[in-house]
Structure 1
Amino acid sequence: MSSFGFKKRTKQAVVAGCAVLTFSVTAHADAFLDDAVAFNGTILHLQTDVPGLIVGAVRDGDTAIAGFGETQPNSGIVPDGDTVFRIGSITKVFAGEMLAHAVARDEVAFTDPATQHLTGRLGDALTRHPPMRLIDLTTHAAGLPREVPRADSPPNDPFATITHDAFADWLDDTDLLFSPGSSIAYSNFGFDLLSTALSEAGSAPYRDLLADRITEPLGMSDTGFDLTETMKYRLMTGHAPDGTPLPNVPSGQIITGSGGLHSTANDLLRWMQWHLGQAGPDAEVRFLDHAVYVQRDAMNMVLSMDESGRMDAMGLGWVAMNPTAQRPFILQKAGALQGQMSYIAFAPNHGTAVFVSINQFDFAAAYAMTEFANAFLATLSGY
């Protein structure tokens, strides 16, 4: 049972034309928030018609979660706060926070060249390029491509050929897309270099550092790169665009910075509660993590950063959206992997956050999901 309240599993029929919707609600002290999440989640699920959907929110420290549809085809199991799913590129903002932890501990500086914390063949290959800083890696400004060309992987282990050798091969043979710090282009490659550098700086495997510094202190026992036996029983199945269920596959050893994490709505809302706090021993980390470091208007070009809302600036993996008359200042990040698409956003000045996840590669649904989340976040923030 979650420490945030009791769980109420209920079936409700919602008539909208001919639609009948089954969902679960996790009830908490803020009844208004519970109703708002359930009602708005219902509309989103009817609009997108994805197999499964989870909506969660935080307001003034209280949380609410609602799940819709099924975790697996024909299972009859409605998603809830304990349902496990891949968060894809939301993993990047965990890596950004890990950089903030490393800076607060004086292990690294934002402006350190990556070569200072990457040794061996990777470090040697980087020396043939213009210097890229750790802050360039975490703001997608290092001049690196989205992915590195690699050999085909077996279907049951699709990330197996993402290796440090493949990274070094690219760095040995190919020029950067642009001079570091001059433009922004979305890069999974850059974040996997970042997690490798943080591992070397912290003198421990990155997975262990992330557990020690983020997930274990917050009690996020269902957030990790590998599935425990108990997590496997609560896993939500992803689906291809045509609705075909996709198999569960390992994350591999390398995509620790870019996209390998699994989590649950309960864990992610605990994490959001930490982000929306003010005091505590990690106050400096939170301050560093919520700052913006690269303004859009300082860049020559920005590529692939506006799918979830126009990027005005970049934080430590967070996409920053400036306040308008219709919304507050927002830090947000989307992620997609193996048939799961998720989005998380929070308004640090208003004590509010929204999380949504769907279990199908459906880009129309994904755009609807992020538009819904940004609007819902504005509503919860008093706009």
Structure 2
Amino acid sequence: MLKVNFTGSLKAVALGWLVCSTPMSIAHADALLDEAVAFNGTILHLQSDAPGLILGAVRGGETSIMGFGETQLGNGITPDADTILRIGSITKVFAGEMLAHAVARGEVGFTDPVGGYLHGRLGEAVAKHPPIRLIDLVTHSAGLPREVPRAESPPKDPFATITHDAFAKWLETEQLQFEPGSSIAYSNFGFDLLSAALSDAGGMPYADLLDERITRPLDMTDTGFDLIEATADRLMTGHAPDGSPLPDVPSGSVITGSGGLRSTASDLLRWMQWHLDHGGPDKEVRFLDHAVYVQRDGMKTVLAMDESGRMDAMGLGWVAMASDAERPFVLQKAGALQGQMSYIAFAPEHGTAVFVSMNQFDFASAYAMTELANGLLANLSGY
């Protein structure tokens, strides 16, 4: 866990802040969980330069969520469980679960080539390459670049030029970076191909499919790709490294697998409760979703996978960290987009989960955020 030594007035400030912190929105009875969230959230907010942050945790079916600071610098509004924020690449583990749903329903197989689910120019372009399987896409082992080179987008719509035509153009003219399945290298491109394929297999737009299979059954009413006007006053504003606020921009219709989702701490920890369940009608989906499919051992190269803790294996978008003397087995994923950085992790065998988000790009704070969250998860799991 992140360690901070308080002395003198700083300690007094921290303790005063801790006394003033109160849980947001979700009622529960675990006072020790409240204390752990309040204390760790206070430490992280004091150490970071972010205007605001949200920290939440689940243990034994109980949930605690607390907000610190401001949703936008200077606005005086404290974030809470229902504050809407961009979760960036945490979107990828939703895509991983969507693949698990599709496999459980018999719509696709993990080792199916993606080209069989992509039509038109994009499908023809994929077919020019060695077969890329769905499992390669969801484990970052498909040989695709992180991003596809594209034309510059207008500032108010920065993702507008991320298109399926841009994907097809790259696939038509370039070679894969490595043979699928031989290495691991982080790829947003791969996850957007995955969501396009799952949309085809499911017979409806990906956003509708996600609503039908994940968010609506769990009453995750604030999780989706578009900002609803009625909820705009609950929005967390992201900030650039210099502290200036960044505008809210549309996600577009293509980055549905890689990073376009918005959500709230309340919705995400409700989702974590689903992950920590061991029964019910979705137990087959959970079984598929919590497995690991690609071991680090044996890969020729591993790139850009260790920022939130060393990757020992890859699951369905989840970064798997093996248990050791200091932590349980953990599935985790970080995300950053438009001045917001978030991290979610859970220990399936211990009934514990942690979510944290801050609203300013600051990579030193990002490392501190994930270190603290991993430490908190270990502590809540009895380590």
Q: Report the TM-score, using the length of structure 1 for normalisation.
A: 0.95
1:321 deviation in Å?
0.2
Q: Secondary structure at the match of 1:233?
A: helix
CA deviation digits over 1:71-115, x for unaligned, max 9? Answer: 122221100000000000000000000000000000000000011
**Matching residue of 1:16:** 11
Cα separation, 2, equivalents of 1:36 and 1:346: 16
Alpha carbons 2:132, 2:180 under 8 Å: kept = yes
**Matching residue of 2:41:** 41
Q: Does 1:257 align with 2:257?
A: yes
Q: How does 1:210-359 map to 2 (within 5 A)?
A: 210-359=210-359
Alpha carbons 1:225, 1:251 under 8 Å: kept = yes
**Matching residue of 2:185:** 185
Cα separation, 1, equivalents of 2:259 and 2:61: 28
Q: Report the TM-score, using the length of structure 2 for normalisation.
A: 0.95
Give aligned pairs, total.
370
**Matching residue of 1:194:** 194
Cα separation, 2, equivalents of 1:57 and 1:269: 7
**Matching residue of 1:86:** 86
Q: Does 1:120 align with 2:115?
A: no
**Matching residue of 2:153:** 153
**Matching residue of 2:6:** none
Q: Which runs of 5+ in 1 are unaligned?
A: 1-13
1:209 deviation in Å?
0.3
Q: Secondary structure at the match of 2:23?
A: strand
Cα separation, 1, equivalents of 2:229 and 2:246: 19
CA deviation digits over 1:111-141, x for unaligned, max 9? Answer: 0001111111111001111101000000000
Structure 1 residues 48 and 366: alpha-carbon distance in aligned structure 2, compared to 1, 3 A threshold: same
Q: What letter matches 2:347 in structure 1?
A: A
Alpha carbons 2:87, 2:342 under 8 Å: kept = yes
Cα separation, 2, equivalents of 1:29 and 1:217: 25
Alpha carbons 1:68, 1:78 under 8 Å: kept = yes
Alpha carbons 1:308, 1:371 under 8 Å: kept = yes
Structure 1 residues 238 and 24: alpha-carbon distance in aligned structure 2, compared to 1, 3 A threshold: farther
Structure 1 residues 68 and 23: alpha-carbon distance in aligned structure 2, compared to 1, 3 A threshold: farther
Cα separation, 2, equivalents of 1:82 and 1:241: 25
**Matching residue of 1:25:** 23
Alpha carbons 2:29, 2:62 under 8 Å: kept = yes
Alpha carbons 2:49, 2:360 under 8 Å: kept = no
Aligned residues with identical type, % of pairs: 75
1:231 deviation in Å?
2.1
1:230 deviation in Å?
2.6
Q: Secondary structure at the match of 2:325?
A: coil
**Matching residue of 2:3:** none
Which one is further off, 209-218 or 23-32? Answer: 23-32
Cα separation, 2, equivalents of 1:246 and 1:262: 16
1:292 deviation in Å?
0.1
Cα separation, 1, equivalents of 2:49 and 2:192: 34
Q: Does 1:168 align with 2:163?
A: no
Q: What letter matches 1:25 in structure 2?
A: P
Which one is further off, 141-150 or 26-35? Answer: 26-35
Structure 1 residues 28 and 49: alpha-carbon distance in aligned structure 2, compared to 1, 3 A threshold: farther
**Matching residue of 1:9:** none
Which one is further off, 83-92 or 225-234? Answer: 225-234
Higher RCO, 1 vs 2 (CA within 8 Å, ≥6 residues apart): 2
1:229 deviation in Å?
1.9
Alpha carbons 1:24, 1:78 under 8 Å: kept = no
CA deviation digits over 1:296-347, x for unaligned, max 9? Answer: 0021100000000000000000000000000000000000000000000000
Q: Please, what is the CA RMSD of the aligned residues? A: 1.2
Cα separation, 1, equivalents of 2:10 and 2:369: 21
Alpha carbons 1:24, 1:68 under 8 Å: kept = no
Alpha carbons 1:99, 1:198 under 8 Å: kept = yes
Q: What letter matches 1:317 in structure 2?
A: G
Q: Secondary structure at the match of 1:37?
A: helix
**Matching residue of 1:69:** 69
Q: What letter matches 1:51 in structure 2?
A: P
1:23 deviation in Å?
4.5
Cα separation, 2, equivalents of 1:359 and 1:74: 13
Q: Secondary structure at the match of 2:72?
A: coil
Cα separation, 1, equivalents of 2:231 and 2:330: 31
Q: Secondary structure at the match of 1:371?
A: helix
Alpha carbons 1:23, 1:78 under 8 Å: kept = no
CA deviation digits over 1:159-216, x for unaligned, max 9? Answer: 0000000000000000000000000000000000000000000000000000000000
**Matching residue of 1:103:** 103
Q: What letter matches 1:39 in structure 2?
A: F
